[in-house]
Homo-oligomer: A and B are copies of this chain.
C-alpha cells in the first residue's frame, strides 16, 4: 500500500482553522477574505457571518498563504521591476511612481537589480516561473538584449521595456524623445562658438552604441564639426569613474571646450572634475547633462540638461497593467516621453 504523507507539522494557521473557529466552511472564509485581486462575489455573505470570520481571523492571527492562493489562481498580483542600478534620485523616483501606480490595482512591486544580460534573464525567468505576473525592464544593455526580450515575449511574459534601442515585439517600449532636445543642446553650444566637443558616454567599445552620442555626433557633422573618438570617454553612470575620466580628458593638451554627458550624474561629476583642475565653468569648459534631474539646480553653476520637464513614470506602469488586464494579446505600443533642453549656467 502506498504512502501516508507529511501532515501539517507545526505551521501557521490555515483557512480551515479560521473556519472551525468561526463555525463556518472554508468556502465562506475564502469568500469573506477574497481580498486584493480576488474576484469573489463577497456580497453573498451576510454581515453577521462576515463579522464572525473577521473576529476569528484576529483571534488566531491568520494570514493568507500566498503560494497556495497563487497556485490556485494562477496569478500573483505582483509585478517585477528590473533596474540596472539603484543609485540616483531618478531610480528612486521610477520605483516609487511605478509602485504608486500599481497600488490602486491591488498589485505589489518587487525590484531586482540586473547589471548584466544573464542576471536579467534569470530575473525574467522568475516571472515565467510564476513569481510575478509581468515585468518592467529598464537597462542599458545593448548586445543581445533585443533577442532576449523577444524570447521571453514569445514565452508569454507580459513586459514593458524602458529603452531607446529596443523594438517593441510582443512587448511595449517606452523611450525618451531625446533627439530634438539633444540637438538643441548642441546647437546652443555651437552658437556660443564652441568648436571642440567631448562626450562622456555610459560605456564605450564594441557593441556599446550610445544613442545620445550618435545624436551629438550627427548634429555636429551638420555644422561641419567632428566628435573625435579620442574625446569620447566612458563612465557616465558612476560618479567616481566619471570624475576620473573627465579629469583625464580636461588634462589633455587639447581639451574640449564643451562637454556633453550622457547622464546628469556624469555632468555633475564633470563639474567637480573641472573644479579640481581650477577650470572655470563655463568659461573654460561648458557642460551639458542628460536627464534633467532636480540635482541640476543645486550645482554651481547650475547644470544645463536635456530631459523631461518633470519626470512622470505613471504611464509606464499603466502600459503593463493594460497588458495584464487584457488577456488577449494587445498590439505592441510605443510611448515617447517628451524631452526638452534646459540651458543653465553651465553653458554661460
Contacts and interface: CB of A to CB of B under 8 A. Distances in A.
A16 interface: no
A239 B273 contact: no
A113 B98 CA distance: 11
Interface in A107-129: 108-113, 115, 125-126, 128-129
Copies per complex? 2
Given A294-B240, A295-B240, A297-B240, A110 B110 contact: yes
B129 A64 contact: yes
A197 interface: no
Contacts of A66: 67, 126, 129-131
A317 to B, nearest CB: 14
Interface residues of A, number: 53
A125 to B, nearest CB: 7
Given A240-B298, A300-B276, A96 B113 contact: yes
A67 B61 contact: no
Nearest to A76: B67
Contacts of A95: 86, 113
Contacts of A86: 83, 86-87, 91-92, 95, 111
Contact of A111 (B63, B110, B115, B131): B110
B61 A71 contact: no
A71 B74 contact: no
Contacts of A128: 12, 63
B297 A67 contact: no
A341 interface: no
A57 to B, nearest CB: 13
Interface string A66-107: 111011001010000001011111011001100100000000
A86 B113 CA distance: 11
A294 B125 contact: no
Contacts of A11: 74
8 contacts: A12-B128, A61-B155, A65-B129, A67-B67, A83-B86, A111-B112, A239-B294, A269-B298
